[in-house]
Chain A
């Protein structure tokens, strides 16, 4: 499948068979017509399980450029080729259906279908390929009004704000910037940090009134528990990868643990991938 970060009509995946996904999603060939740059969000779905997209996800990603990854995990004893032969058609048509749903709410969509023995390898590879800003843990949510944005520190703030502003500027969705104080970290510094993030969001087109700021002192809880618990009063969570030097994996990480407890959609902001990273993983 031909890949590009800005999908254009003549580069439609050959598999789509004329599906009008990209035409309706892209308001023209001229990229400058799209006010904030569309953040690229990777949405991994176990395509053969479940009959529809998780509720709320199309609204959440209405302003995104979605890389919709349909995957199917097979045990080692099965050749992936074998599964593709048997399930490929069905999976592809389901995936295209999901893509249409996303397109109808405004997203631009590229689809990829992968049969794999290891979903993590696949997700990680596609994060690199598309330089994805974030990966969605696709849980469902009923309505989307407020989003909790966990801010850990200054690292990766640029990507974080690009994602949040890109997704939510010009919508009715409000965001709450949330920081848990580190040991010995003065509250003033934290507020400066969050206010900096806020003004950057405003610069990128968000309404100042749509942004709340919340600093908490650490309690008995781990930050993971705190985020998951506070998340319950919101509809979705945006958080960063943790300790990228240790692992680049999305799942099985704090973000995954939050997603398990919070049960709503979680956007995991990815650090920037470099070629050196990729080689070190070989």
Chain B
């Protein structure tokens, strides 16, 4: 840094970063351990999320899908080997989480993957990822909402109220509208609520899965006869299922989208991202093991999105089913909510950089919420959840995220080779080139195993994003810009 004011550098400063004389306020790299960002002349930003909060965001976003929506669908496609599909997803997610952690500690700013890619690789890839991230989160949120609707519908079933139509989609749409309105006007801080939900979920799941595992291993009663581990189609259905259920691992990147709020980012960002992937990965694998021991895969598939309720009923009767219905409601609710909020942050990030009109990130002074951005997130989410296409929504969400993950790995390799002055991460991904290389290849490879329709929609979204960039934002140069 070119500090032209000697008086500024003298004397110990408890506040951390020295003000930078250049306009725009460059973030000083050694300031990462500090609590507050550099003051750009318009005020400081308080970092308010600690390690527990970061883990809660990651776990809370992810766990809704893998445990409460996918087991039935996954088992139907891949049998007990669906556990392997989830394990593959976890490995890919970890291979991406490590490079993401390094980039996040070098650029602990809101915007996550979009920010890293636009700064590391330039505006074009940035635009594809930024707009893709917005829509990817929109698809993910719609997927969670259908799951939430399924669990809300299950409440009617458990209460013995017969409904003329499957209520999952209408309820999902209603929740989508409700959550959007809540995020527009709800000024209560929800962080502690999120932490509470995650703790309750983990307790219920740990009890349930411990009992289920012991039962499956024959501790209570007879050991269940395992069915053939691999499905008839061999490895292909396992990989296809891995691509489908990868939506269950999208949450760790959400931690990066709030990187600007995380305290001690150099320590907490990597821990929260890697930690949450490991925690949910273990839960997913055990869940599939327990579920496929309780029922045959075909039966599980018939139960659909709420298969875990039947598994719990098998083990613990009505109380078990009730506990899982409640847990499922909480989990899908928190995933949907987190995705809506992240989508609005993605809109903010691209609007801040001038890739879409600035009006998209205007805040409402009274409520302090970005009403346009939330509308741009909530509107399409409601429309998409009305389609009720669970697998398609999940795959398109995964597609758009996987493109981002692959490019994150490319960005890491690029930045490590270029070594720009501003690139001084405080966490370094071990075996960086190898991990990023394998992670990037694995991310792109997983896309190949999706349904053709999902791939087509994904490419259309990417093409439209790029076309928009050529039309609207050709003059914007973001590479290396802070």
Residue numbers of A with Cβ under 8 A of B are: 1-4, 10-11, 13-15, 48, 70, 72-89, 91-92, 112-118, 121-122, 125, 129, 282
Residues of chain B within 8 A (CB-CB) of A79 are 110, 258, 260-261, 345, 348
Cβ A113 vs Cβ B18 within 8 A: no
Report the Cα distance A121→B35, complex, angstroms: 11
Contact status B44-A113, CB under 8 Å: yes
Q: Are A118 and B368 in contact, CB atoms less than 8 angstroms apart? A: no
Residues of B within 8 A of A48 (CB): 365
If A1-B39, A82-B352 touch, does A75 touch B44 (CB 8 Å cutoff)? no
> Of all chain A residues, which has the CB nearest B184?
A77
Contact A115 B348 (CB under 8 A): no
When each residue 128-144 of chain B gets 1 if its CB lies under 8 Å from chain A and 0 otherwise, what string results?
Answer: 00000000000000000
**B216-257: contact bitstring with A at CB < 8 Å (1 yes, 0 no)?**
000000000000000000000000000000000000000000
> What total count of A-B pairs have CB within 8 Å?
137
| Chain A, Cβ-Cβ closest to B188 | A75
Could you tell me if A116 and B46 are in contact, using CB atoms closer than 8 angstroms? yes
- Chain B residue contacts of A88, Cβ below 8 A: 40-43
Given A11-B7, A79-B110, A118-B46, 11 other A-B contacts at CB below 8 A?
Answer: A1-B44, A73-B368, A75-B186, A77-B341, A83-B363, A86-B363, A113-B39, A114-B43, A118-B189, A121-B48, A125-B46
Contact of B45 among A70, A76, A80 (CB under 8 A): A80
- Contact of A75 with B369 in the complex, beta carbons under 8 Å: yes
| B164 lies within 8 A of chain A by Cβ | no
For the complex, is B21 an interface residue (Cβ under 8 Å from A)?
Answer: yes
Contacts of B367 in A (CB 8 A): 75
Please name the residue on chain B nearest to A71 by beta carbon.
B46
A13 touches B19 (CB 8 A): yes
Q: How far is the CA of A75 from the CA of B183 in the complex (A)?
A: 9
User: Does any Cβ of A come within 8 Å of B100's Cβ?
Assistant: no
23 contacts between A and B (CB under 8 A): A1-B44, A3-B15, A14-B21, A48-B365, A70-B43, A72-B43, A75-B187, A75-B190, A77-B183, A77-B344, A77-B370, A80-B46, A81-B352, A84-B40, A85-B361, A88-B40, A88-B42, A115-B46, A117-B191, A121-B46, A122-B46, A125-B36, A125-B46
Q: A14-B41, A77-B369, A92-B43 are in contact. Are A82 and B21 (CB under 8 A)?
A: no
Taking CB atoms, residues of chain B closer than 8 Å to A85 are: 42, 352, 361
With a CB–CB cut-off of 8 A, which chain A residues contact B13? 2-4
Picked from B35, B42, B344, B369, the residue with its CB within 8 Å of the CB of A84 is B42
